[in-house]
Amino acid sequence: MKNDSSIPKEGDLYKEITISGHIFELRYGYYEEYERQNGPPVVIYPDLEKEKIFTEDGYRIVSQVQDSCEYYKTETLPAEEWCSDCIYFFYEEKEIGVCRNENKRELKQGGTENV
């Protein structure tokens, strides 16, 4: 089999995104071990469900493929319930955006996240 240098390798940088002063590196990899046997690596998104990061004005930064939350709302009925399908999701880059739902906004003056 010919070695194709255009096929990304695990760990290769796909894209670097800066949102509200936060830098996110999207790299190629595998979500599950069995994926290694079934094809080339895919873009790995940061786990923004686990690591909660906010903009300067307190809005939550989320990935487009993040599972929807209890405030999820759409104007249509999509096949998948991802953050990017929600009316509160605003793209900053293709892969990552900001949730503009006020219920998920972090209070800056000694407050905490409302999630």
- Domain spans in the chain, listed from the N-terminal domain onward: 13-104
Classify residue 107 as left (phi > 0), alpha (psi -120 to 50) or beta: beta
Model confidence band, residue 9 (pLDDT cutoffs 50, 70, 90): very high
What's the pLDDT tens digit per position in 40-75? 999 999 999 999 999 999 999 999 889 989 999 888
CA distance 111 to 86: 25
Q: Look up the pTM and report it.
A: 0.78
CA distance 63 to 95: 6
Model confidence band, residue 1 (pLDDT cutoffs 50, 70, 90): very low
CA distance 96 to 26: 10
CA distance 64 to 82: 7
